[in-house]
Amino acid sequence: MSKLPTQREETLGGYIVHGIPFPTSTDEEALEFLKKMTPIQIEQEYKITYLHSYGQDSPWFAALTNKRLLASRDPESGYTYANPRGADVYSGRETKWI
């Protein structure tokens, strides 16, 4: 009896593969089946860490986490925004935190 080769250790945790029909013979009719074969699907865990920046709105979110509410005001017109704005929508002037 022949000895089996040493099995390699899995490094990726393995895969779950779905839908792999294949003909048992390789005659012309059986190989024609391959043209009708559906794509093989591999199920693999996917995990990603996403880093998102709040940019110029960071002070507003920092205040919110400390139970404060900041607003933005156009110093010339006095128009006040409850949500964070780096610039006035109408004039384009920089707003101030209040």
The pLDDT of residue 94 is 94
The pLDDT of residue 16 is 66
Neighbours of 30 (CB within 10 A): 12
Tens-digit pLDDT profile for residues 77-98: 999 999 889 999 999 999 999 9
Query: Which has the higher per-residue pLDDT, 64 or 15?
Result: 64
Q: How do the domains of the chain map onto residue ranges?
A: 55-97
Q: 72: buried, middle or exposed (CB in 10 Å: 19+, 13-18, 0-12)? A: buried
Query: Which has the higher per-residue pLDDT, 53 or 34?
Result: 53
